[in-house]
């Protein structure tokens, strides 16, 4: 099976960030949270706020959106053009997409793309709180083996070397830069 990261890999950009700014423009009610979110973001950037704490603060805006399903659907209607051509040309129904972005945000677009499986961060759609760990780094490997105990990754694709844990268990791994696919650099795995 082939396994893919989502943001920056098959999606040109960061879907979580794009969704936040889309909602900021579309739903003025959430703007009341923008300053505190920015403060937490700065704290995360300075490494005094944990990543999960920042992400929960970021996604707390969902509490102010009455119809989140519609917001997500409307977002993808405008942003599915950001799915990269290289992925559209090679996608298969057996694809597995593993992402740190919220499951509620990616579920619909992954179904539309025909991907068999999505593993993403489980985020409460009413509060923005995470149910478990952020699906990142080693957590991606853990989640993969929970669903596929005997799973075997033929090819893995990501735009970031922080996904090295998944690259290490794949037969072949590729780093994605824009529309270009390059062999994973084993020196970056150390």
CA distance linking residue 124 with residue 105, whole number of Å:
11
Domain range holding 126? 2-12+82-189
CA distance linking residue 156 with residue 163, whole number of Å:
9
Q: Around Cβ 17, how many Cβ atoms within 10 Å?
A: 12
Residues 30, 97 share a domain = no
Q: Note the pTM of the prediction, 2 decimals.
A: 0.93
Taking the CA atoms of 18, 19, 24 and 25 in sequence, report the sign of the dihedral they define: positive
Length of the chain: 190
Residues 158, 96 share a domain = yes
Pick the range with the lowest mean pLDDT from 85-89, 139-143, 181-185: 181-185
- What is the mean predicted confidence (pLDDT) over 160-188? 91
Residues 67, 133 share a domain = no
pLDDT classification of 91: cutoffs 50, 70, 90:
very high
- The pLDDT tens digits of the residues spanning 152-168 come to 999 999 999 999 999 99
β-strand 2-4 against 153-158: which pairing, if any? parallel
């Amino acid at each position: 099976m082939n396994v893919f990261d989502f943001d920056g890999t098959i999606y040109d950009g960061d879907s979580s960030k794009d969704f936040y700014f889309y909602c900021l423009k579309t739903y003025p009610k959430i703007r009341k949270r923008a300053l505190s979110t920015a403060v937490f973001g700065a704290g995360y950037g300075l490494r005094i706020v944990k990543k999960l704490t920042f992400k929960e603060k970021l996604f707390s805006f969902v509490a102010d959106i009455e119809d989140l399903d519609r917001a997500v659907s409307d977002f993808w209607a405008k942003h599915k053009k950001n799915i990269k051509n290289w992925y559209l040309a090679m996608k298969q129904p057996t694809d597995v997409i593993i992402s740190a972005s919220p499951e509620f945000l990616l579920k619909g677009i992954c179904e539309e793309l025909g991907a068999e499986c999505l593993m993403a961060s489980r985020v409460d759609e009413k509060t923005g709180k995470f149910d478990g760990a952020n699906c990142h780094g080693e957590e991606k490997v853990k989640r993969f083996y929970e669903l596929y105990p005997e799973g075997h990754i033929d090819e893995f694709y990501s735009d970031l070397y922080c996904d090295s844990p998944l690259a290490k268990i794949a037969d072949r791994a590729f780093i994605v830069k824009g529309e270009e696919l390059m062999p994973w650099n084993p020196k970056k795995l150390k």
